[in-house]
Structure 1
Amino acid sequence: MPIKPEMRGFYPIDWPQLSASIRFRRANGRCEQCRRPHKQLVCQLTDGRWYDGEAQRWRDEKGRGTRTNLPAPKHLPSKIPARFVYVVIACAHLDHDVANNDAANLRALCQRCHLAHDRPRHRTQRWLTWRASKAIGDLFTGQYR
């Protein structure tokens, strides 16, 4: 995920190299949670299952192989809702602290897993933004106009 310009100063100078090391050396270009491959089109079903082209099998949202009678994506019946997604692997901070760049705190995650990891934080931020929109003023500057 791209770094916001206002957050760029909190990341170390060698962040691109550190991120690449986590994503490509340690994780071998795959999501460390669901095993989706970097920069590949992946067929994904609505329940989270996806097709691993290298292994020629369907996998669940945790990357485990699933027993299913589904054919390969090109032979899927039209009644099964599936979509193709382009997977990009990013380096995520597990504790959400960008200053903590310990290898144990970093994980290579695809967009889907990264958003799922950040969901509680995003939910809290959405609630705070909503509450701020209901405020009628500031303690020091008075009412908003």
Structure 2
Amino acid sequence: MPIRPENRFFYPIDWVQLSQVVRFERAKGCCEGCGRPHGQLVCHLGDGRWWDNAAQVWRSGKGRKLKLAPPETLPADTPRYTTRVYLACAHLDHDPGNNAPSNLKALCQRCHILHDREEHQRQRWFTYRLRKAAGDLFLGPYPFRYL
């Protein structure tokens, strides 16, 4: 996941190498949250369940085996999606300065966004408040359509 320019200062100089060690040496190229393999196209149902092609089983959003029929035997009206999996190295405590191995985890897009959900909600609240304050300061009452 790209690092925002304003946050670049918080990451160590060797972040690229550290991230690669966590994602590919420690996690062996699989998500440590659900087990999805890096770089592979994965068939999923949109609710976290995904088809593990190597083991020929469906897995839950946490990587547990499920007793479902293979994708080709599912009813035609069942929604199926494919996604290419990319691993990112996530900070478990959301502090980019804390690069202890126990604080880093290799996560796919889905697990990473779920892990960062509260932080994204906090940032969204803060952004809305900043926009509202700037509108009140310079333009008077802020128009509702921009919120």
- TM-score calculated relative to the size of structure 2: 0.88
> 1:115, 1:38 → 2: CA distance?
16
**Partner SS for 2:128:** helix
Residue 131 (structure 1) aligns with: 129
Residue 99 (structure 1) aligns with: 97
Q: Which structure 1 segments of 5+ residues have no match?
A: none
Q: Which structure 2 segments of 5+ residues have no match?
A: 140-147
> 1:137, 1:85 → 2: CA distance?
40
> 2:135, 2:43 → 1: CA distance?
49
Percent identity of paired positions between Structure 1 and Structure 2: 58
Deviation for aligned residue 1:78: 2.3
**Counterpart residue type for residue 83 of structure 1:** Y
Greater percentage in helix: 2
**Partner SS for 1:124:** helix
**Counterpart residue type for residue 3 of structure 1:** I
Aligned residues: 139
- TM-score calculated relative to the size of structure 1: 0.89
Residue 138 (structure 2) aligns with: 144
Deviation for aligned residue 1:127: 1.2
Deviation for aligned residue 1:137: 7.0
1:122 pairs with 2:120? yes
**Counterpart residue type for residue 134 of structure 1:** K
> 2:37, 2:100 → 1: CA distance?
24
**Partner SS for 2:116:** helix
Residue 108 (structure 1) aligns with: 106
> 2:4, 2:128 → 1: CA distance?
22
Deviation for aligned residue 1:134: 2.0
**58 and 144 in structure 1: CA distance in 2 versus 1, 3 angstrom threshold:** same
1:16 pairs with 2:10? no
Please provide the CA RMSD for this pair: 1.6
Greater percentage in strand: 1
